[in-house]
A and B are shown apart, each in its own frame.
Chain A
């Protein structure tokens, strides 16, 4: 039977050519989109290394001399920095607040960043540098590689030491967390100062769309005491982050805002903006999410076209081959066999197109037109997975597309069809 089927496909090569060409083209394009989405989703679902549930960011602003409440700094004997410390103290006593931290360019989903170059012996790597007060580790729940709790990590972060992610030197040198714990690090080009690593944390990602492989950081303390001397201009660069207790009722931002006038107007400080980290995450990643959305639409479009193409082609074909199918039935084929024959015919077309498509796919991957995943373009595992997904998606569409014409064909009354002939 298969031999006949092959011959039949060959004999119909003229009308099959169109559908075959479409299958080939769609297979390649679909694989590309599937592969790109696969890399993105793979990254998206990696562990993030922090927890932003119940966290908020406050941007502190300062009043100007135009405000009636403004106090001329020269008439005061404390600076804006000590106002910040007072603010921290009051925030810590605010209902439902669990932890409050100060930092520079450090919170997750941050649009700005500071970079440095960290070196152990001769092994160096570009990375981000986080300057944070110890409570930052509690606000964003960083966890140590050896099971240290965020609270434990917070006590370890002191002047002159570093906390680093365990993957700091993994991508380039293959070093694991235990290889760098306790070692000394040089930062930037400064070879006079050594920074001992007091703790190693699980990898921490910058956001959901940058993979662990590309996310390296070192963390220094920004001690609250050192904030005392900040001027009004300086405090506006600080990030103030808050974690509320898990049982905190909704509406925290509103409660904080309502209290801001009475409880948090200290010196010339005011809250310019309060946002939940969930909001910040949504907004920073909007472009990436849109891209993912567009890719999903692309996949949908391609598959729908396959469906339409198969539906159209086989609709014609079953009409043209009525007598042939009637003959099959009258020679003892069951109706189910007629149905299966048509489906198999479609799938065989797909298989033959896929063989060529695989060759093209591999070349596209080899030419590095696809996104990198963990530092490489072409890995056997990824290639097999994404081509398999592509094949399954297309088979599904072929089966659905042929389903209706094939159902039609099953209902043939051999006597009638043959009499027409």
Chain B
């Protein structure tokens, strides 16, 4: 029977070339657009190297600081100082690892007597390489002792290594950063700016420079962020609880200020929409908005397709009449129409998905770029592994099924309700 449906669906494609083209195009376009939106979202939240543990991560991008006794509406907002990061987050016992790193900034790099060029920096600690799985081509990350002592050692990416020396085997050689000599201890694969927490071109211990001095409000606010890697997602509540305990303790120790986190630590999903330091993002509103967009992108083409499916069925009304008179039940007819359409929808969905991937790979850099990546010296790069997730295909399948149900549900129901005599005499 299923073979019969396939034959019929293919025949229908042939019989009405223009209408088939319109249906396929309409469906493919809708699925393509929806999947582009899904990808735009997933690239920010789904795990891929070197942020393979996004599911287990919590982030604290911003800090809020106000005078003791005042309130959060009259506050200063921005990244935190190294002191705050250490006492409030590095001191956590529950997580697997906690890392402190600076916000995006630039330094001038060169080799002795070489030409200077700008590189994107992250000044961080040894934990960074536990939280993020940067892949080392050569050498290894700096260890805790070097980090705590602020030794001038640097992990650099392949592009910078090549720009400096023309090759990547540069362990033990020198890189000047803002005129200060650093020893290269590791070389890693280039990181896409889309993995923006892990991204940099050069990573050095934050204690090796005077960046810690860029702080204000008695060393409460500064230029640092924190990422926390939990043993598992289930630890999040415990970590939040411990964060709160440390915050209260820290506040007690401060003479003039108090700090607050505005619902942070954020999960990856919330963190990406936490754009401004002085606001708490509303994930629910964001999700509702996304669902509304998906619904509209499905519904509008579905109305089109319904109209066409119905016209097509009207031409086949005698066929339906005959089937019914030979014993097909209403359910059989409905199932037949739905299934025939499903073949068409899957075919178009597949075309849409291929288009979507082609689009994402070709236009990825501009499609996925965002202001959080601003002032960087390299533009976002996209590779196929960043876009391939089981959930992506799951979504595509789900949207195709929904599309099918929406676009042929009513026509199928109507076709199955036609009485046999009407159907046979209609012609």
Contacts and interface: CB of A to CB of B under 8 A. Distances in A.
A309 B29 CA distance: 13
A62 B308 CA distance: 69
Contacts, number: 126
Interface string B6-43: 00000000000011001101100110010000000000
Q: Which of A64, A68, A272, A275 has the most CB of B within 10 A?
A: A64
A228 B22 CA distance: 72
Is the interface on chain B under 10, 10 to 19, 20 to 34, or 35 or more residues? 35 or more
Contact of A66 (B107, B180, B297, B304): B180
A283 B300 contact: no
Given A64-B210, A68-B181, A301-B297, A287 B310 contact: no
Interface in A306-338: 308-309, 311-313, 315-316
Given A18-B310, A311-B22, A316-B311, A62 B210 contact: yes
Contacts of A279: 375
Contact of B301 (A66, A67, A275, A305): A305
A297 B33 contact: yes
B178 interface: yes
Contact of B374 (A18, A70, A284): A284
Contacts of B33: 297, 301
Contact of B178 (A61, A111, A232, A280): A61
Contacts of B181: 66-68
Given A15-B311, A286-B369, A313-B307, 20 more contacts: A18-B303, A21-B303, A64-B209, A66-B152, A67-B179, A67-B181, A68-B181, A69-B179, A111-B374, A232-B210, A236-B214, A261-B116, A272-B178, A273-B106, A283-B375, A286-B373, A287-B370, A305-B304, A308-B25, A315-B18
B306 interface: yes
B213 interface: yes
The 4 closest A-B pairs by CB, nearest first: A283-B374, A18-B307, A67-B180, A66-B180
A308 to B, nearest CB: 5
Q: Name the prevailing secondary structure of the B interface residues.
A: helix
B91 interface: no
Q: Which of A61, A260, A285, A287 has the most CB of B within 10 A?
A: A61
Contacts of A260: 116
B173 interface: no
24 contacts: A18-B310, A19-B307, A61-B107, A64-B180, A67-B181, A69-B179, A112-B78, A260-B116, A272-B107, A279-B375, A286-B371, A286-B373, A301-B30, A304-B29, A305-B26, A308-B22, A308-B25, A308-B301, A309-B303, A309-B307, A312-B19, A312-B22, A312-B304, A316-B308
Nearest to B116: A257
Interface string A285-306: 1110010000001000110110
Contacts of A287: 275, 370-371
A280 B304 contact: no
A127 interface: no
Interface in A54-90: 59, 61-64, 66-70
A280 B106 CA distance: 14
Given A236-B214, A315-B18, A29 B179 contact: no
Nearest to A293: B366
Contact of A275 (B296, B303, B375): B375
Nearest to A280: B375
B180 A63 contact: yes
Given A272-B106, A290-B369, A308 B26 contact: yes
A315 B108 CA distance: 65
A226 interface: no
A22 B26 contact: no
Contact of B29 (A68, A275, A301): A301
Contact of B108 (A271, A285, A297, A308): A271
Contacts of A19: 307
A11 interface: no
Contacts of B108: 270-272
Contacts of B297: 301
B118 interface: yes
A67 B178 contact: yes
A283 B370 CA distance: 8
B304 A309 contact: yes
B208 interface: yes
Interface string B263-307: 000000000000100000000000000000000110111011011
A181 interface: no
B26 A15 contact: no
A193 to B, nearest CB: 20
A233 interface: yes
A233 B214 contact: yes
A69 B375 CA distance: 28
B22 A63 contact: no
Contacts of B301: 305, 308
Interface in B179-207: 179-181
A64 B178 contact: yes
A22 B370 contact: no
A316 B213 CA distance: 74
Nearest to A268: B179
Contacts of A25: 296, 299-300, 303
A63 B107 CA distance: 11
A26 interface: yes
Contacts of A270: 108, 178-179
Interface in A7-47: 15, 18-19, 21-22, 25-26, 29
Contacts of B23: 312
Interface in B64-121: 78, 105-108, 116, 118
B311 A283 contact: no
B302 to A, nearest CB: 9
Contacts of B26: 305, 308
Interface string A251-272: 0000001001100000000111
B371 A315 contact: no
Nearest to A63: B179
B171 to A, nearest CB: 20
Contact of A29 (B22, B214, B300, B304): B300
Contacts of B369: 286, 290
Contacts of A61: 107, 178
Nearest to A261: B116
Interface string B211-233: 00110000000000000000000
Contact of A305 (B107, B116, B300): B300
Nearest to B112: A68
B296 A29 contact: yes
A156 B178 CA distance: 38
Contacts of A273: 105-106, 118, 375
Contacts of A236: 214
Contacts of A275: 375
Interface in B362-401: 369-371, 373-375
Contacts of B375: 273, 275, 279-280, 283
A207 B15 CA distance: 56
A311 B305 CA distance: 12
A270 B22 CA distance: 62
A56 to B, nearest CB: 14
